[in-house]
Amino acid sequence: MEMEPYLFFSGNCQEALDFYKGLFGGEIGEIMRWKDAPPDMSFGPEYANRIMHAEFSSPAVKFMASDSRPTTQYGDGRISLSLNTRDASEAKRVFAALADGGNVEVPLEKAFWNALFGMLTDKFGIDWMVNCQLE
């Protein structure tokens, strides 16, 4: 068994995938668009090029993604994606990139458990925690 996060976006899934590819490296796998769905699943021409399903994988991060269905509204979630590293410069680089255009809830700072730790919501509305265990 394996757990893999599924991230939903509001019409900007392709932009988000491109951003994460630049940040984490890796590859955007199969992309299926709403125009490729059976006719009974279509939502009209304005949704044709939105992403129905995509896969992303890199050495550090793996997830599936989609532009949310126009009939589905997602609210504030109770899940954060947690990134863990032992490289402080990598933690700072990733945190800064994810924070750009987003909302920092907890700045990346030394925490009592001897780590750099920070929490934020990126510009796509995805919640992240970055933790860098210090030696």
> Which pLDDT tens digit goes with each residue over 9-50?
989 999 999 999 999 999 999 899 988 888 777 777 888 899
Per DSSP, the residues of 27-82 read: EEEEEEEGGGS-GGG---GGGTTSEEEEEEE-SS-EEEEEEPPTT------S--EE
DSSP-based three-state secondary structure for 10: coil
Q: What is the reported pLDDT for 28?
A: 97
The C-alpha atoms of residue 68 and residue 1 are separated, in whole angstroms, by 26
Architecture of domain 81-133: Roll (3.10)
6-67 against 81-133: fold identical? yes
Q: Which fold has domain 6-67?
A: 2,3-Dihydroxybiphenyl 1,2-Dioxygenase; domain 1 (3.10.180)
Pairing assessment for the beta strands 103-111 and 6-9 based on DSSP bridges: unpaired
> Which pLDDT tens digit goes with each residue over 65-124?
999 877 766 666 678 899 999 999 999 999 999 999 999 999 999 999 999 999 999 999
Nearest 5 degrees, angle CA 103-CA 127-CA 119?
65
Q: What is the pTM of this model?
A: 0.87
**Position 68: which residue type?**
S
